[in-house]
Each structure stands twice: as C-alpha cells, then as structure tokens.
Chains A and B, each alone.
Chain A
C-alpha cells in the first residue's frame, strides 16, 4: 500500500468515526442513523455500504453476519479494526498540523 493511501477520504472518515462512536460495531442502518444524529447529514445507505466494503478491503473494518437472537433479518455487522483506528488518528494529526498556523483562526468558524 502506498503512503498516500494511508490517509482517509472525507466520507471514509465520517463512516469510520460513526462506527467508532457506536462502540462494539454496527450495521448499515445504525451507522447511517449515527451519522444523521451527529452531523445532520442524511447520507445514502448504499453509499455507506460501498464505503464500508472499501474500508474492509483495506483491513480497517471487518464484518460478520449476525442473526438477532429473537429472529428477524440477517445483518452484516461491521467492527472497527486497529488499522482503521490508526488511520483515523493519522488523519486527525494531519489536520491538526495543517490547522496549526498563526494565519488560521482556530477559534471561530468564520
């Protein structure tokens, strides 16, 4: 994997962070709901799956099929892996370094 691929895209970060906020993993609709709650963005559920699949290819998340104990449909549940967690931190550090400049006003959104 090239060094450039170790950094995450914006939507990849959003999905990974939502998954991290869920704690012990979650399936597509849960991640979608978490993103909606935290950011107000009503993203596309299929797009969430596409992103999770890509992240799984990079070993940043893993998935397993789970059937709820009380019955119901099968769910593909995703779990954040160490590589995903590291990638999130690297991304944050990258942005922190970039924000660390006297010319940037970090105190306001304007």
Chain B
C-alpha cells in the first residue's frame, strides 16, 4: 500500500498555500500523515489528509484575498495609479474605451434581455399564449395570422380543453368620461369576463368583471387601473361601488386592478367585452378582429396546446362553410409581444457583445503600445530584483484600476441611457415602461469591467518582451501590423453599420413616401355591429346603414362604411377568374358605401364610383386586379367571375396598400352595400376629434341597442405598421454611432502609437526644415489611408453580403444609392479625420529637442 498522501488533496493545498510557506506546510502535513498511517492505518491517514485539505480551503482563500486587498491598499496600487496618472491620455483612452464597450453591452444587451427574454411580470407567465386564426394555405410558415372572430372566441371559451385552461378576448377602446360637465378621453380596453383570471391578476380592491353567466348584467361595469384610480380618484377605496358616465352609459366601478405596464398595454379602465347572440352567428365568422389570450395547462406545452387548438379550429370547417381551410395556433405571449421587433432585438444583443469585444481589442491595442513604450522600464525593474510576478501584479492592478474607472463611467452612462430610454427609444416599443438597472446588475457589470481591464492589460504586458526597445524588433512590427489590421477591421464593420443605417433610412423614407393609394389624415374608424333585431335581411341592414351614414352627414361629417378597409388588419378573401378555364385566384373583397372612395381619397381611375341606390351586383375593381386580368384593355363594361358569379365591372379604383406599403399590391374588388351587406362593418368618418362623440351618438340614434366598438384615428393603423420600422431605424442609427466611436478610438490609438514611435524621425524632419503643415498632412494621410482601406473592405463586404442584409432588413434588395454611398464614405472619413487630428497636431507641434529626448 502506498505511503503517499492523496494526490488531489495535496494538490489543492499546494495551489492555495503561498509559495513562501509551501514546502513547510506540505512537509508538516506529510509528517503528520505518516504518523497517522503508522498508528491508525492508511484509511484513517487519507481521511485525515482530506479533512485537513478541506478545512484549509476557506482559511487559505480568505488569506489570499486579504493579501490582495493589502496589495491594493499598499504600494503596488499606489504605484499603478501613479503610473496611470503620468500618462493621462493612455489612461483616459483605455478607461473610455472600456466604458464605451461595457456601456454598450449593458444598454444594448440589457435592453434585449429586458424587452425580449425576461419573463412577463405575471404569475407563471411562460404559460400565457396569444391565440390566432391562420388563413387557408399549404405552407404553415406563409399563412397569415389573424385575430379571432367573436364566434370563435366564444367557442374557445366554451370548449373543454385538455392542454389549455382559459381564454379571454381584448379590444382597444376610447371611452369618453363625462365628469363635471366635461368630456375626458380615456384609454380603455374591452375585456372578456375572466380576462384577469387568465392573466393571473388579482384586483387590488373590489372584484374583477363578472363571469360569463352574469354577462347580461355586467354591461355597465368598469374596473379601473390602479394608476388611473390614483390619478383620477386620489386612491380613494370608496370609489368602488360608485358610478361613472362613459359615453352616456352609467358604469358601476366594481374594482381596481394593478397594471404592470407590459401586458396588457396601460389603459385607464376595463369594461366588459360582451356579445349579443347575433354577433356570435355564422355571419360574424369573417370578422376577425378580437385579440385573444389563453393559458396553457401546467402539465402541457405551448406546442401541444397549439396542436390541440389547430385540430379544434380546423374541425369547425365541417360545420361552417366560411371556416373551411382556416386553422388556429397559440404562440408565447411574451415572444408575440415583441415579434415584430425580434430581428432588431437580435441585432441589439449581437451588437452589444460585438462592441464589448471590439472595445477589448482596442484596449489590447492601446495596452500593447503602452507596454512597448515601457519595455525598457520593465527591464530595469527586473534587473533591480523585481520578480516577474510583481510586474504581472502591477499590470493587473493598472488594468483593474482602469477597469474600475471605465466601469464606473459605464454605469453612469448606462444608467442614464437606460433611464432615459423612454425618450430615445422609438415610441411604442413594447415592454419598455419599466426599464432600469438593478444594484446587482450594476455590481456585475462593474466587476466585469474590472476583470476585463485587468486581464486585457496584463495580457498585453505579458505578450510584449520586456527587454525590447520601443520601436524595434519583429514583435513590435507585428504589433503595429496587428494594430493596423484591427483598425481596418473596425472601419470595415463601421462602414457596414453606417451602410445598414443608410439603407434602413432609404427604405423607411421610401416606404413613408410611398403612395398608399389612400389618405388617412383626419379620418376615424370604428367597428359597428347590428343587433339581431335589425338583422332580418339585407334590405333592413341596408336601410340601417343608410340611416347611420345620413345621420353622420347631417352632423357635418363625410362618412362611409367598408367591411375591409386597407391596413386595418382585416382580411376578407374572395376568388376570381375571367374565364371558366382560367386558374382560380384570390383577392380582397370589400363591401363599401359610395362615399368610401371619397373619404379615403381613393381615385376612381376609370368608369364611375357607385351611385346612391346602386343595387346591381356590379363591382369596382382595383388597378392591380384590372392590370392582372385585363392587360392592355379597359375592364369597364366587361365581366369577371367573382365567387362563382359573373359581375359587371363599372369602375377601376386606384390600388391601395391593403397589407402595408411593403407588401405587393393586393387585387381588390368592391361591391356596393346596397347590393350586398353584412351585419357588421367599419365606419370610416372624416373630421375632427368630435367624431369620437359623433359616431356613438349617430349609432345610438339610428341603431337602437348597438354600440360602436373601438373608435380610433385611422392613422393608428398606419403607425402600428410603421412602428417596427422606426424602431429598427433608431437602433441601426445608434449602432452606427457606437461603431463609429469605437473605430475612431481604435484609429486614434493606432496613429498615436505610430506618431510616438516616429517622434525622433519627425524631429529630424522638423530640424531639417520640414514645415508643420507637411508633417500634419503626412500623419493625416496615414490615418485616412487606414480608414480608406477599412471603408473599401466594408463596401466589399456589403456587396458580397447584400442578399443577407436585404433579408435582415426586410428589403427587396440591399443596394445603396449613390447618395447613400457618398454619405457613408463621408461619414467614415469624417470620423477618421477627427480621430487622427489630435495625434497629427501633436506630431506637427513636436519640438525637435524634446523628440530626440523621447527617442
């Protein structure tokens, strides 16, 4: 049997005991080990040794930490700080670069985490899902998602699910609160009874909205948000039980609920989303406008629940012909909230990490230059008896001190940037109401900065041979070449970022300028559904819609109706073909009133608009449809088979961007509401803010028992669409700015180092009569050449990766216009010029005597 102590335990002690005591400590342990071995046997001896090692670990670690702290408080730290203060530009460069990198990672990575990945502040929030209907189609990925229709929501809520535990619907509303003779516009949400149960939100006071079986009585209830309750009622609990007049209807306040600012979007109050029986009939299956959320059962997963929902919705096609081919799916609510921004958030996360890495490379470059300058000093210190370990510790302390300063600056900058993000982040970015940096996160980032500073500076010092002269030898040359390569690489990356920014700018400017085919300024819209009592037949519906439109016109507004207005998220497909043998195609179908084209500014390019009283099944088609089916001929007077029925074409309307400005124009077909109509439609009214009051008043006056749902400015549909684009633009702009700063710092450090290394030569040239202007120009050229190489490389990268960039930006192609190329080049060279200006000025003002001394 071996008489040796356990190797691993001995190794642990060996590692932790300071070198000076190592021989004695290990010798003592071995001695005692052998004594126990002789007296009690090998097992007891080994056990004893292991116990000794285990007991020693905390003491030895604490002792090591104490030694380090003593070192920090002692001569080494003082020396490190003194050395750093002697070179304020180097110190500021390293600390500033670290601050920029850490702040970028903190802000960009932190935002990506907080907005994208952090769980929603709701109980068991990862089980919350959003519910969608999927249009008919073969490829699952290509099928457009739609909110659900009232009948489907009702069926979802009534079905006995295995993998889901609850469903609720939500719609935006803009209630008007009549208080003290004044009208106050509130932000509202219509929610299904049970909405708060699904989300797991318990009322702060009172109760939630009533459950299903009491819905009929719950029509006049309201639940206040806590924020509104505090603002409007001073947090008075007695307000529960009182009433408030919302749009002329008395609502009893039954409770107060807390809001987390993330989901649902902050509103002032919630009122019940209730359906009359007719709204749940077959005719409403095409009205897919209700946002629906659900909760996955604890033992299940989102995928399994989605399959169950798909099977259920697909089976509905057997019973309801209009539902044939439609399916459904559930998706994570958290992921869905930020879905349009996912590419941007991924970009943020990647950019945060890339900037941190770039800043560390820059710190390495600066530190290498500094180490080369100090290699003689290090050689002298070694010769005087300093150990390499001591030199290493000094480097670590220098780096840690710079990391501490950089980290503190990063914390301040990061905190301000995150706290002020509400201002600089594009409006409407979800999950950004409560952004902040916790104390724990702050300590973590500070620690990361200190560690990164210490390690990178020490690594640079370690790689530079101490005995080498500052500007000689192959290692120095390699460092110079490496430094230049890093600068070129950074400028190439910055060129890419500025180019992406220019492209995003071009694309958004182009989309914003693009003719949508309609004008939504000063236009309001609201959904109106007829009560069942008026849903006797199409003639009765027609008369009701006519009365409503006339009432609004009498109030001085231009009003129209459409079942499927552009960019509103609605979708009514129809099939068409010119001849029986033609392939069946699909377009969008809208039932409109004659004034529709006028209210939305859609030009009638050929033929005529609908006339009042137009009861024939004549249609107006869009220019896109006309050009597709009747190329080179006028379709007016011809017929088109629509929904298996021949219809005469009486006009051709300007094409509208039905699914947004970047989608291909959709073939549209319009039919007069006096020939065909449904029990629900969207009102579209041009006018001032008074429309918000006029619509409910007109509806109440002409359709007893009906209420308009969600009266909103039409522009909100458009801004919803443009929101992700604006956010993408803001993010890319910020990234280009940070990238430019990092590239500028890299170039500054590289040129500074070169200038310092060439001071003797510059001194000689000045002494021999070179003018300061010549020296200035020489140095400036050196910097600009490096930036120019980076610029060319960036452009080449751009060209080779333009397809990937186009896909990432959702653009058809990623080619830059001449203006954008000129702008990118000017921006890059401008940044380079600023970065080189300081070292160039220093070189130009070099005193020959001083430079000789420095050499």
A17-46 interface (Cβ within 8 A of B): 27-29, 32-33, 42-46
A46 touches B32 (CB 8 A): no
B52 touches A29 (CB 8 A): no
Q: State which of A72-80, A83-91, A95-103 sits at the interface with chain B.
A: A72-80
User: Is B645 interfacial (CB-CB < 8 Å)?
Assistant: no
B8-38 interface (Cβ within 8 A of A): 13, 16-17, 21, 23-25, 27-29, 31-32
User: Is B56 interfacial (CB-CB < 8 Å)?
Assistant: yes
Question: Which residues in A have their C-beta under 8 angstroms from that of B13?
Answer: 46
User: Is A94 interfacial (CB-CB < 8 Å)?
Assistant: no
B28 touches A45 (CB 8 A): yes
Closest A residue by C-beta to B16: A46
Task: Encode A57-74 as 1/0 by CB contact (under 8 A) with B.
Answer: 000000000000000011
User: Is B51 interfacial (CB-CB < 8 Å)?
Assistant: yes
User: Is A82 interfacial (CB-CB < 8 Å)?
Assistant: no
User: Is B63 interfacial (CB-CB < 8 Å)?
Assistant: yes
Most buried by B among A29, A33, A43, A45: A45
Known A-B contacts A32-B32, A46-B13, A46-B17; A75 and B56 likewise in contact (beta carbons under 8 Å): no
Complex CA distance for A75 and B23, rounded to whole angstroms: 9
Complex CA distance for A106 and B162, rounded to whole angstroms: 73
B52 touches A50 (CB 8 A): no
B56 touches A47 (CB 8 A): yes
Closest B residue by C-beta to A44: B55
User: Is B59 interfacial (CB-CB < 8 Å)?
Assistant: yes
Most buried by A among B17, B28, B59: B28
Complex CA distance for A29 and B48, rounded to whole angstroms: 14
A76 touches B56 (CB 8 A): no
User: Is B60 interfacial (CB-CB < 8 Å)?
Assistant: yes
Question: Which residues in B have their C-beta under 8 angstroms from that of A43?
Answer: 55
Question: Which residues in A have their C-beta under 8 angstroms from that of B48?
Answer: 42
Question: Which residues in A have their C-beta under 8 angstroms from that of B25?
Answer: 28, 45-46, 49
Interchain nearest-CB distance for B516 vs A (Å) = 77
Question: Which residues in A have their C-beta under 8 angstroms from that of B29?
Answer: 29, 45-46
Complex CA distance for A13 and B21, rounded to whole angstroms: 21
Interchain nearest-CB distance for A78 vs B (Å) = 10
Complex CA distance for A53 and B27, rounded to whole angstroms: 17
Residue of A29, A47, A49, A75 near B32 (CB, 8 A) is A29
Most buried by B among A27, A44, A47, A75: A44
Known A-B contacts A42-B51, A44-B59, A46-B52; A76 and B24 likewise in contact (beta carbons under 8 Å): yes
Complex CA distance for A33 and B23, rounded to whole angstroms: 19
In the complex, how many residues of chain A place their beta carbon closer than 8 angstroms to a beta carbon of chain B? 18
B24 touches A74 (CB 8 A): yes
Complex CA distance for A55 and B63, rounded to whole angstroms: 13
Complex CA distance for A46 and B17, rounded to whole angstroms: 7
Interchain nearest-CB distance for B807 vs A (Å) = 61
Complex CA distance for A76 and B24, rounded to whole angstroms: 6
Interchain nearest-CB distance for A12 vs B (Å) = 13
> How many interface residues does chain B have, given as a range?
20 to 34
Complex CA distance for A86 and B56, rounded to whole angstroms: 28
Complex CA distance for A43 and B29, rounded to whole angstroms: 12
Which applies to chain B's interface (DSSP): helix, strand, loop or mixed? helix
Complex CA distance for A45 and B27, rounded to whole angstroms: 10
B56 touches A46 (CB 8 A): yes
A73 touches B27 (CB 8 A): yes
Residue of B23, B31, B60 near A46 (CB, 8 A) is B60
Complex CA distance for A75 and B16, rounded to whole angstroms: 19
Most buried by B among A28, A32, A50, A73: A50
Closest B residue by C-beta to A30: B28
Known A-B contacts A42-B51, A49-B21; A29 and B28 likewise in contact (beta carbons under 8 Å): yes
Interchain nearest-CB distance for A36 vs B (Å) = 9
Complex CA distance for A28 and B29, rounded to whole angstroms: 9
Task: Encode B786-815 as 1/0 by CB contact (under 8 A) with A.
Answer: 000000000000000000000000000000
Complex CA distance for A28 and B28, rounded to whole angstroms: 6
Closest B residue by C-beta to A76: B24
B21 touches A45 (CB 8 A): no
Complex CA distance for A33 and B25, rounded to whole angstroms: 14
A27 touches B23 (CB 8 A): no
A27 touches B21 (CB 8 A): no
Question: Which residues in A have their C-beta under 8 angstroms from that of B56?
Answer: 44-47
Complex CA distance for A74 and B55, rounded to whole angstroms: 25
Complex CA distance for A47 and B59, rounded to whole angstroms: 6
B28 touches A32 (CB 8 A): yes
Complex CA distance for A110 and B23, rounded to whole angstroms: 44
Complex CA distance for A17 and B32, rounded to whole angstroms: 21
Task: Encode A5-21 as 1/0 by CB contact (under 8 A) with B.
Answer: 00000000000000000
Task: Encode B465-491 as 1/0 by CB contact (under 8 A) with A.
Answer: 000000000000000000000000000
Question: Which residues in A have their C-beta under 8 angstroms from that of B23?
Answer: 73-74
Task: Encode B35-75 as 1/0 by CB contact (under 8 A) with A.
Answer: 00000000000001001100110011001000000000000
A50 touches B28 (CB 8 A): no
Complex CA distance for A8 and B597, rounded to whole angstroms: 94
Closest B residue by C-beta to A53: B21
B24 touches A50 (CB 8 A): no
Complex CA distance for A18 and B474, rounded to whole angstroms: 60
Closest B residue by C-beta to A74: B23
A27 touches B51 (CB 8 A): no
Interchain nearest-CB distance for B400 vs A (Å) = 24
Known A-B contacts A47-B59, A50-B59, A53-B21; A75 and B27 likewise in contact (beta carbons under 8 Å): yes
Question: Which residues in B have their C-beta under 8 angstroms from that of A28?
Answer: 24-25, 28
Closest A residue by C-beta to B56: A46
Known A-B contacts A73-B27, A74-B24; A50 and B63 likewise in contact (beta carbons under 8 Å): yes
Question: Which residues in B have their C-beta under 8 angstroms from that of A46?
Answer: 13, 16-17, 25, 29, 52, 56, 59-60
Complex CA distance for A44 and B13, rounded to whole angstroms: 11
Pick 12 A–B contacts, CB within 8 A, sort by A.
Answer: A28-B25, A29-B32, A32-B28, A42-B48, A45-B25, A45-B29, A46-B16, A46-B60, A47-B56, A49-B17, A49-B25, A73-B27
Ordered nearest first, which 9 A-B pairs have the shortest CB separation?
A44-B55, A29-B28, A46-B56, A47-B59, A28-B28, A76-B24, A44-B56, A50-B63, A73-B27
5 further contact pairs, Cβ within 8 A, besides A42-B48, A46-B13, A53-B21: A27-B28, A32-B32, A44-B56, A46-B17, A47-B55
